[in-house]
Amino acid sequence: MKKLFIKTYGCQMNAYDSARMADLLAPLGYAGAETPEDADMVILNTCHIREKAAEKVYSELGRIRALKDDKSRAGGRMLVAVAGCTAQAEGEEILARAPVVDMVVGPQSYHRLPEMIARIARGAGERVEADFPALEKFDVLPQAVSDTGVSAFLTVQEGCDKFCTFCVVPYTRGPEHSRAPEQILAEARALAARGARELVLLGQNVNAYRGTDAHGKGWSFARLIAAIADIDEILRIRYTTSHPRDMDDDLIAAHGDIEKLMPFLHLPVQSGSDSVLAAMNRQHSADDYRRLITRIRAARPDIAFSSDFIVGFPGESDADFEATLQLVRDVRFAQCFSFKYSARPGTPATAAKKQIAENVKSARLDVLQKLLLSQQDDANRALIGTTQNILFEKTGRGPGQVVGRTPHLNPVHVEGPASLIGRVRPVMIEALTANSLKGRLV
């Protein structure tokens, strides 16, 4: 057996891709390893979303280089691949900047890894694969073989046609594509058979899903969710990430109609200022977003929302930032991600004249995060004393502890047997600790 170490950065779609790369390389004799020491192959599955994320890769490559040298001094060989969004964005540049790298492979071409490994063994041929062969990879990848866990990711859609002016994703992941519903349902059943009880449907714009089946019939995202809900072993369905523009009536209705669809929605808004939203090319206003939240809450009153925010987008004034705080107060979120704007090469906002000073960005982020944290704390506290259905996912750190999640995605620790894993049980929530809830089986 050869040792394969994969390090994953970035979003859930990268986590899914890493698992698929492991599946793809297993038949070549590669087994997953926990550390890069002595590995026969190292893959860094990279993220390009913010500058810090992209730069991390080069410092990691420095460490890998020392390990690769050790290995070759001992007469062995370590192959080093850079995959993911930075691979797509920088291509050849990576080989030039980091000679330790043997191959570079973009997110839509990693199914070609076995071919690339063979080429490198021959010492000849192209070392960069970075085109967008329209979802070809899904026709070629093996059925998932890696351990799925109770909650499993399933990519149903890829790419982005929205071109928000700050974002690299349309360039790194290519245009929007939806997988065929039959292929998704087959994968969902295979995951269920391997023990998955919750499926998290993934896509850069997952609610833009528009599949076409073998009869040429179009499938909406709501229809896809309903079909997955028909798989008995699957108890819970979630999806991420959504764009407000693609929340159509059917999908909103599905939140009321499909019991297995969990009452939690990540719906990034980025800003509460109409002029910033326009400059970002989000193509909706702050009030459009408020109205959308109201409609979704009408379909599913107990739904919890999360979101992404960017502070310090070029031109953002104090009043614009205040509008973001107001939107947060109006909507009330259960949990959010917030970031300082990071100028990314090749995106339109990078060229904007009014870049915001770093100290202003930091101060705004601080204020926003305090507000978001207080809302998160309120949402958690409101659960104390209630009984929640928990889907248990794994054992906890303490002896005799199991950990699961509420329908609203809050992690809950409980004393109980490991046999609970994969099952849903009612739990009385008793206390809030640093970052999770404690409860007892009812």
169 touching ligand SF4, by CB under 6 A: yes
204 touching ligand SAH, by CB under 6 A: yes
CB closer to ligand SAH out of 122 and 353: 353
Which residue has tokens 């691979």? Answer: 87
Q: Which DSSP string corresponds to 269-297?
A: -B-S-HHHHHHTT--S-HHHHHHHHHHHH
Binding segment (CB under 6 A) for ligand SF4, from list 53-61, 157-165, 191-199, 410-418? 157-165
Residues within window 203-262 making contact with ligand SF4, judged by CB under 6 A: 204-205, 243
Which residue has tokens 């540049």? Answer: 93
392 touching ligand SAH, by CB under 6 A: no
Side chain identity, residue 261: L
CB closer to ligand F3S out of 271 and 342: 342
167 touching ligand SF4, by CB under 6 A: yes
Contacts of 115 (CB under 8 A, 6+ apart): none
**Closest by alpha carbon to 384, among 441, 430, 427?**
430
**Residue from 3, 4, 5, 10 in contact with ligand F3S (CB under 6 A):** 10
Which H helix or E strand runs over 87?
helix 85-90
342 binds, among ligand SAH, ligand F3S, ligand SF4, none (CB under 5 to 8 A by kind): ligand SAH
- Cα 415 versus chain centre, distance: 30
Binding segment (CB under 6 A) for ligand F3S, from list 47-55, 229-237, 382-390, 406-414? 47-55
47 touching ligand F3S, by CB under 6 A: yes
**Residue from 36, 84, 170, 174 in contact with ligand F3S (CB under 6 A):** 84
241 touching ligand SAH, by CB under 6 A: yes
CB 122 to ligand SF4: min, Å: 38
**CA–CA separation, 199 and 231 (whole Å):** 11
CB closer to ligand F3S out of 14 and 388: 14
* Max Cα-Cα span within the chain: 66
Instruction: Give the total of residues touching ligand SAH (CB under 6 A).
Output: 17
CB closer to ligand SF4 out of 30 and 305: 305
Following CA atoms 138, 142, 143, 149 in sequence, which dihedral angle do they give, to the nearest 10 degrees? Answer: -100
Burial of 325 (0-12, 13-18, 19+ CB in 10 A): middle
**Residue from 6, 22, 24, 49 in contact with ligand F3S (CB under 6 A):** 49
